[in-house]
Amino acid sequence: MRIAVCIKQVPTREWQPRIDDSKRGVREQDASFEMNEPDAYALEEALRLREKHGGEVVVCTAGPARASQVLREALARGADRAIHVEHDRLSSITTDSFAIAGALADAVRDETFDLVLTGLQSDDQGAAQTGVILAERLGVPHATIVMEVQIQESAVRVKRELEGGWFQWVQMPLPALLTIQSGINQLRYATLKGIMAAKKKEIRKVTPASLPAGHSSIVGLDVPRKTKQTQLIPGSPAEAAKGLIEKLKDDRVVG
C-alpha cells in the first residue's frame, strides 16, 4: 500500500503573532515553526497502516525552503521519502487553501497513491478545507473527521466523528483521501536512529510552473482587544429585558 501524507509547517503555539505593515498578514520573520499537530496524527496513522499492511509512506508539503524542516522530522519518525513543493508564493502563513491543494495535487497526481491522509485542519488557519479540495482535484472519494481506519482489500472503511457524540461508519473504494482527527492514535517521536537515517532519505523538490489563483483573500487583521464596556439599562425588569434585546439586535453587542 502506497500512502501519501500531506503535512504543513505552522507557527509554534507559544508564538504571539505580530501583524505586518500591510495589516493583512503576520511577520513570518519573527516566528518559530513546527509540524502541524493534526498532520502529525495523520502521519502516525499512515505509519501504523504501513506496519500492518506493508508498503510505503511518502510525506508531502507545499511551502518555502524552511518547510523542509517538517519533512526531515517526518522522515525521522519513519516516513520513507518526501516531496517538497517549493514556491515563494507558498511562504505566507495565510496562503489560500485552494492554492495549496492545487500545488499538492499537481505534485502527487502521477504517484498513484492508494491512500492520501491529511490532518483535519491546520493550527494556524483552522479552515479544514485543504484536504477536501485536494480530494476534488485528484478526483478521489474522501471522508473527514476520521477516528478509525480499516483497510479491506480494494476498499477502506472509516469511522467518522459527528456532532453530539455520534459516529458514522463509511466505506469507499481506493484510492481515497481521509482527513484525520487529532487523538486518533498515540504519537511516536523521532529516535536518534531515525534522525540519522532521515539524513539519507530522499526529499524530491518540485517547483510548480504556476499556482492556481486563490478563491479567498484577507481584508485585514487586528489583535483582539481586551477591554470591557458596561452599560446599565434602566427601568423595570421587563423594560430592561426589552432594552437589552434592542441593544443586541441593533448595536450588535457581543460578550
Tell me the CATH number at 81: 3.40.50.620
Is residue 254 in a domain?
no
Q: Which of 152, 159, 144 lies closest to 114, judged by CA?
A: 152
Q: What is the pTM of this model?
A: 0.82
Q: List strands edge to edge, sheet with 81-86.
A: 167-173, 155-161, 142-152, 176-180, 115-119, 2-6, 56-63, 81-86, 203-206
> What is the maximum span of the chain, computed from C-alpha positions, in angstroms?
76
Is residue 113 in a domain?
yes
Report whether 104 contacts 6 (CB < 8 A): yes
β-sheet bridge partners, residue 145: none
CA distances from 88 to 64, 119, 180 (A): 6, 23, 28
Is residue 119 in a domain?
yes
- Give the per-residue pLDDT at 205: 92
- Give the per-residue pLDDT at 94: 54
Antiparallel, parallel or unpaired: β 9-11 and 2-6: unpaired
Report whether 128 contacts 121 (CB < 8 A): yes
Domain count, the chain: 1
- Give the per-residue pLDDT at 72: 95
Is residue 247 in a domain?
no
- Give the per-residue pLDDT at 255: 45
Antiparallel, parallel or unpaired: β 56-63 and 33-35: unpaired
Query: Which residue bears the cell 513570518?
Result: 28
Return d(Cα 244, Cα 255) in angstroms, integer: 13
Q: What are phi and psi of 72, to 5 degrees?
A: -60, -40
In the chain, what are the helix, strand and coil shares in percent, each to the nearest 5?
35, 25, 40
Radius of gyration of the chain (CA): 22
Cβ neighbours for 162, distance < 8 A, ≥ 6 positions apart = 145, 168
C-alpha cell at 173: 473504494
**pLDDT 10s per residue in the chain (255 long)?**
999 999 999 888 877 778 888 877 777 777 788 999 999 999 999 999 999 999 999 999 998 888 999 999 999 999 999 999 988 777 665 568 888 898 899 889 988 899 999 999 988 877 888 999 999 999 999 999 999 999 998 899 999 999 888 999 999 999 999 999 999 999 988 889 999 999 999 999 988 777 766 677 778 787 777 777 788 888 899 998 988 888 888 765 444
Cβ neighbours for 245, distance < 8 A, ≥ 6 positions apart = none
Q: What range does the domain containing 82 cover?
A: 2-206
- Give the per-residue pLDDT at 90: 76
